[in-house]
A and B are shown apart, each in its own frame.
Chain A
Amino acid sequence: MEPSEERGAIAVEMTAIRRDFGSVTALGGVDATFRRGEIHAVLGANGAGKTTLMRILAGLDRPDDGDVRIDGSSVTTFDPGLARDLGIALVQQHFTLVPTLTAGENLVLARPLGRLRPDRRAVRERLADLVDRFGLDVRGDVGAGELSVGEQQRLELLRALDADAEVLVLDEPTAVLTDTEADQLLAVCRDLADDGRSVVIITHRLGEVFSGCDRVSVLRAGEAVMTDVPVGETTRASLATAMIGSDATGTFSDRDRTPAEVPNGAPARARLVVTGLSSGQLDGIGLEVAAGEILGVAGVDGNGQSDLEAVLCGRIAPMAGGVEIDGVPLDVGNPGSSASAGIAYIPSDRYRHGLVRAMDLSENLELGRTRRIRRPRRQRHLAAAERLDDWNVRSAGPAARAASLSGGNAQKLVLARELDHEPGVVIACYPTRGLDPSAASSVADRLIDRAASGAAVLWIGAELDELFAVSDRIVVLSRGHIAGEFVPEFDRHAVGLAMTDWRVASSSAAGASG
């Protein structure tokens, strides 16, 4: 990259950065350049390596190989304190404020100016000073935990600026903000850049790139697909393609989709109907899944998937809207009724929501379906041993604790519990997450099998290739809305666009399906 006038001068240059976590390559030789006076967007889908790259820059992680230069001098020690002294500040995706301390006290905690705890007035003045200087409004009289999400974000920003950051990295700053707040944040970033700082925004929203950024880099699966390209030279389409890729590389072969999968050739009836559902991020969404159908729910993580999961399994009662199973309204907010309505639930976090690790395998097979009076242990173990065998769960037997299972076998245990009794509706949340290819495809086969025998399957997934292979239909969830609905042959490009910007995509999707 050629050095130029002061605006646009290179502040950070990262070359051939490599980082492996065990056998997983998070970054496979990535280049990145960030310039003064500019806002730089780093785009990428989940797991593309964006956060790892920025953690390395902020000294929170070290590269296995590669070179990091800040203002032209090479960094050899990766240490958060050192990075801060060099002017790098990272605002992480998950806030790191102490909820019981006030805004000012959080500033003091992050960067104490002396050995003694300063008096209240000094703390207040320090905050007021920063608020004035940068025009970021934060209340100073309540604990940080009581601040709104937007305020917390501004406080994180102030804390970074308090340390005189020259390079400000924001990890998905708009993910938790309303649209207005997001616009305000971008305006603030523009001011900071105009002061000669370099602002880096990690995001997966294309709209923000065009409304607020100067240059863009795109990562995909640990590789830089686009590096330091002026935003004017890109289009939504080229960025979406760069993020999602255009080549199918899935381990799944397409399943045969034949209408005859519906038993007896009867017309497919909707078994799962969701209407006007609002909960958390979800903003009045509607879905229908027919008998024998697999509906894929695509989307970048954190766009309402977890809220959908929580409502459908009965963990949380929604603010508005309802769920019907085979025409019968579901008693939402009651996990027991979800189970007895015939919903099989495969949770996204199987250890947290799916299994009781300290209990043995036979008892885990009962979770949610315990008889009032349970059978004697010997009988339970005999029945469980058979079921574990059927579902190919490799274990030390029914008396082994669930904690002793590997990830793939733990998932098979959940399937053995949820799918063994011909469920009417299956809610599968990232069912292949963390599994090796053979385990993943056996899990997928089991789900396809249930659909074939008449169940309605809702498959919330992250990997498009996988969803394309298994789904009869795909909806895209973005910012709590259904941003598009797609049928085979799936247009990778259109789905990618819907995932990154729901307003644009909903119009183009309407065109595609109409």
Chain B
Amino acid sequence: MSLGVGAVEAPTGPIGRVLGRSVSSGAVAAVLVPVVAAVAALAVGAVLIGLTTGDPIGVYADVIDGIFFAPRGLSDTATTATPILLIALGYAFAYRARVFTIGAEGHYLVGMVASVGLITSGLLRDLPGPLLIVVGLLAGAAAGAAWSALSGVLFVRFGASVVISSLMLVYIAEAVLQWANRVGIRDPESFVPASRSVGAATLPIVPGLDVHLGFLIAVAIVPVMAWVFARHRLGYRVRALGDNPEALDANDVPAGRIVIAVLLVSGALAGLAGFIEIAGVNGRINDSASLGYGFTAIVVALVGRLNPVGVLVAALALGALDIGFEVAARSSDLPTSMAGLIQVLVVVFVVGGDALVERFHGTGAR
């Protein structure tokens, strides 16, 4: 779990010296490794395509075409990236503090069920759309945060591992989803288990951009989080917790409090993603609402180096890869799993690259 974090913290080394003292080689490696890893993954992917269907260049041309020139390529990319971006920002926040939650899938589902349940209830559903959207956003964030805070309480009170408890809570959240679709918030007129439609709370399409409002919300959080890290006390405490919890404990605030704060933030962002995905894309919740975004986002947070801007780039790249290969698969007999394979290869190469950089630094320093 230390991947990504290690390279960010690396001291000034040989690369930095070549480029001038102001840029630490750690910072250079943090950007360089994912880029090189992506190129290498695409290269290996080309070989694999060559071995199966024959024409890697043609396939990649289709991929690029699908992303940049197909009618909805860019907007689909943005739409796909939205929930992953939100969840990955939450992970980045938590991982900076070295609080290794992996349960955002659960926060996402609970936020989704709670917010959609609330705005489709008889009590609220006749309210005007914009108000419903605000209520839905807040409810999603609150429910996700509460679900996530459970791990925090278990950790602070009983010392239970956040990794384990957050993962276990995902399974409970999946059961909650099943129950909600069948009993809790079921649409009585639907034949398959599903919630009512969000109706008036559907997120509007942003004029001129051809994506729903949720994408803008997610992107707007990027500079906010960067600002929190640079200028707000919470961001400072999060980083101090990650680097030396004992110093925080002895001088500032009890570390457990910040652990819970961090889990609240990451849970809120995932819960927000849950509402946005339904209100922006699907319209109603059904049993296939759990697509594993909560796990994909771990990769995005790490490849994005736990840096908000880096996470934005990584989420968009991942969305683009998905859309591009989907288009390419339509025009050839390319296996649809190719996009996933390349994503996994990127991760493998980033991890390997980090290990190499660390070793390179180690020998360079001595």
Contacts and interface: CB of A to CB of B under 8 A. Distances in A.
B250 interface: yes
Contacts of B246: 352-353
Contacts of A376: 231
A314 B253 CA distance: 9
B212 interface: no
A374 B253 contact: no
Nearest to B240: A356
A347 B233 contact: no
B230 interface: yes
A373 B247 contact: no
B236 A334 contact: no
Contacts of B252: 335-336, 339, 367-368, 370
Given A359-B239, A359-B240, A370 B233 contact: yes
B121 to A, nearest CB: 37
B126 interface: no
A371 interface: yes
20 contacts: A315-B249, A315-B250, A333-B254, A334-B254, A335-B252, A339-B251, A345-B251, A353-B246, A353-B250, A354-B250, A357-B244, A358-B243, A359-B239, A359-B240, A359-B243, A370-B236, A372-B233, A373-B232, A373-B233, A377-B230
Counting from the closest, the 9 A-B pairs by CB-CB distance are: A368-B251, A353-B250, A358-B243, A356-B244, A368-B252, A370-B233, A356-B243, A315-B250, A374-B231
Given A356-B243, A356-B244, A367 B251 contact: yes
A21 B244 CA distance: 29
Interface in B204-223: none
B251 to A, nearest CB: 4
B163 to A, nearest CB: 20
A27 interface: no
A419 interface: no
A373 B252 CA distance: 16
A439 B222 CA distance: 45
A375 B250 CA distance: 24
B366 to A, nearest CB: 16
Interface in B223-263: 230-233, 236-237, 239-240, 243-244, 246-254
Contacts of A347: 250
Interface residues of B, number: 21
Interface residues of A, number: 32
B245 to A, nearest CB: 10
Contacts of B249: 315, 335, 353
A355 B249 CA distance: 11
Contact of B254 (A335, A353, A372): A335
Contacts of A355: 244, 247
A17 to B, nearest CB: 33
B9 interface: yes
B11 interface: yes
A111 B170 CA distance: 46
A313 interface: yes
Contacts of B9: 358
The DSSP consensus for interface residues of chain A is loop
A353 B247 contact: yes
Interface string B190-203: 00000000000000
Interface of A: 313-315, 333-336, 339, 345, 347, 352-359, 363, 366-368, 370-377, 401, 403
B247 A363 contact: no
Contacts of A336: 252-253
B250 A335 contact: yes
Contacts of B236: 363, 366, 370, 374
B240 A367 contact: yes
Nearest to B230: A377
A396 to B, nearest CB: 9
A373 B231 contact: yes
Given A354-B250, A359-B240, A371-B233, 10 more contacts: A313-B251, A315-B249, A334-B254, A345-B251, A353-B246, A356-B243, A367-B251, A370-B236, A377-B230, A401-B11
A370 B9 CA distance: 22
Contacts of B231: 373-376
Contacts of A371: 233
Contacts of B11: 401, 403
B253 A335 contact: yes
Contacts of A367: 240, 247-248, 251-252
Nearest to A403: B11
Nearest to B231: A374
Contacts of B244: 352, 355-358
Contacts of A403: 11
Contacts of A314: 250
Contacts of A354: 247, 250-251
Interface in B76-133: none
A340 B243 CA distance: 23
A352 B251 CA distance: 11
Contact of B243 (A313, A357, A368): A357
Most buried by B among A335, A352, A356: A356
Interface string B114-157: 00000000000000000000000000000000000000000000
A372 B251 contact: no
A359 B244 CA distance: 10
A374 B254 contact: no
Contacts of A375: 231
A354 B240 CA distance: 11
B237 A370 contact: yes
Contact of B251 (A333, A353, A359, A401): A353
Given A356-B243, A357-B243, A359-B243, A374 B250 contact: no
